[in-house]
Amino acid sequence: MTTKFTQHIIVPVANEEDAEATATLLEPYEFGRITVFHVVEKGEGVPDKTPVEQSEQVAAAAFEAFRETFPDAETETAYRRDIVKGNLEVADAVDTSAIAFRPRGGSQLIQWLSGDRSLQLISEADRPVISIPEGTNT
């Protein structure tokens, strides 16, 4: 049995600005269903980076911004310490065919110091991962 590569994609967003930029870059492409989601980083034994209520407001604003371009997008919020694992768990839970993401900028040093989540996502995923380049022209 074959599955369309983009039958159901899941798109992680960090905040309103990221959601808007990601939706704009995805707009020229065709796919079936789309689920946009946000991972609220939890502390697990240590204080959370931001209060949960504030993080939920960030997620709600991001979803609203994304839905300006994709009004039918489904939404998911995950509460995890490990953002990459949160991405993978949500992708599995909603049974997506692929994960589409916009790599966050930063120098190679910054990426290395932060654990290079893009590389970790690509390496650990059990489904295709699509990196959406900035300035895509179709």
Residue 124: its pLDDT value, please? 86
Whether residue 136 is predicted with pLDDT greater than 50 in this model: the reply is no
The reply to whether 75 falls in a domain is yes
Cβ-based neighbour number of residue 78 at 10 Å:
20
Give 82-132 pLDDT, tens digit per residue.
888 888 999 999 999 999 988 766 555 444 444 567 777 888 889 999 988
Instruction: Tell me how far apart the 2 most distant CA atoms of the chain are, in Å.
Output: 46
Residue 45: its pLDDT value, please? 67
Give 3-52 pLDDT, tens digit per residue.
677 899 999 999 999 999 999 999 999 889 999 999 887 766 666 567 77
The reply to whether 50 falls in a domain is yes
This prediction has a pTM of: 0.82
Residue 134: its pLDDT value, please? 78
Terminal Cα distance for the chain, rounded: 30
Whether residue 62 is predicted with pLDDT greater than 90 in this model: the reply is yes
For residue 115, the domain's CATH number is 3.40.50.620
Give the whole-angstrom CA distance, residue 78 versus residue 40: 6
Residue 55: its pLDDT value, please? 86
Residue 74: its pLDDT value, please? 98
The reply to whether 112 falls in a domain is yes
- Domain residues for the domain of 103 are 8-131
The reply to whether 138 falls in a domain is no
Q: Is the Cβ–Cβ distance between 37 and 90 less than 8 Å?
A: yes
The reply to whether 2 falls in a domain is no
Cβ-based neighbour number of residue 14 at 10 Å:
16
Give the whole-angstrom CA distance, residue 13 versus residue 93: 17
Mean pLDDT across 60-87? 93
The reply to whether 136 falls in a domain is no
Residue 52: partners with Cβ closer than 8 Å, 6 or more residues away:
40, 79
Residue 6: partners with Cβ closer than 8 Å, 6 or more residues away:
29, 30, 31, 32, 97, 98, 100, 130
The reply to whether 20 falls in a domain is yes
Give the whole-angstrom CA distance, residue 24 versus residue 32: 17
Residue with tokens 């369309």: 4
The reply to whether 137 falls in a domain is no
Domains: count for the chain: 1
H or E element, residue 101: strand 98-101
